[in-house]
Amino acid sequence: MSVFINFIIGLIAAIVGVIPPGLLNMSAAKISMREGRRKGLLFSFGVCITVLIQTYIALIFARYLDRHPEIIDVLQKVALGVFVSITIYFFFIANSIRKEPLKEVNNSKSHRVFSGIFLAALNLLPIPYWVYISITFSSFGWFKFTPIELWAAVLASSLGTFIVLAIYVWFFKNKDSEKKPKINMNYIIGLVTAIISVITFIKILNDM
């Protein structure tokens, strides 16, 4: 039963974490529009390989922290500062930075897989995200760190990520979709980190 619960938590957490429009899912959508759905899915597969590795690293680290609660108290305060800084950045600074369009270099199938792996590797947010998720659910007794349960969550995170990216690949079917109003991802990320900051702040107050 605990394996199933870990799998469900991993799947839902992955979907929630990836579903807001961001660099990876919008890149998958653009590749699908310009080069076809197959290339978009290959890119998504590459992303999921990196996500699997990142989630495993995060959960191993979270397991260590779960056994040393005194470290968690310190990290909570550090995390609060980090999340507040990220919130300020995405609300007030990121929109003023001019983004240059990405240049296509190679359209081969293998290139799309490796570009997915590389681009996902540049995004380190999944590591603290999964540490936070796993420790939070573990504190309620819902998440287990034994090897089988841990791998269930790791595989679920990769599967959940692929499901969301596949939806983006199939939803954005043609280049006309680029003409639709664009969602400001900076504000979405800022809102998410602001909510996490409030939750973390309340948790620190309750622990005092």
**What secondary structure does DSSP assign to the chain, as a single string?**
-HHHHHHHHHHHHHHHHHSS--HHHHHHHHHHHHH-HHHHHHHHHHHHHHHHHHHHHHHHHHHHHHT-HHHHHHHHHHHHHHHHHHHHIIIIIGGGSPPPPPPP----HHHHHHHHHHHHHH--THHHHHHHHHHHHHHTT----SHHHHHHHHHHHHHHHHHHHHHHHHH--SGGGGGSPPP-HHHHHHHHHHHHHHHHHHHHHHH-
Distance CA 121, CA 50 (A): 6
Q: What is the pLDDT of residue 96?
A: 53
pLDDT of the residue at 197? 73
Q: Give the per-residue pLDDT at 156.
A: 96
Number of domains in the chain: 1
pLDDT given at position 87: 75
Q: Say whether pTM exceeds 0.95.
A: no
CB–CB of 58/130 below 8 Å? yes
Q: Cβ contacts of residue 31 below 8 Å, gap of 6+?
A: 39, 40, 43, 112, 169
Tens-level pLDDT at each residue, the chain (208 residues): 789 999 999 999 998 888 877 788 888 988 888 888 899 999 999 999 999 999 999 999 989 888 877 776 776 677 677 777 777 776 776 555 444 444 444 555 668 898 889 988 888 788 888 988 888 788 778 899 999 999 999 999 999 999 999 999 988 755 444 444 455 556 666 676 677 778 767 767 776 6
> What's the confidence (pLDDT) of residue 141?
83
Provide the pLDDT for residue 126: 85
The pLDDT of residue 129 is: 84
Query: What is the domain extent for residue 88?
Result: 2-207
How many other CB atoms sit within 10 Å of the CB of residue 194?
Answer: 17
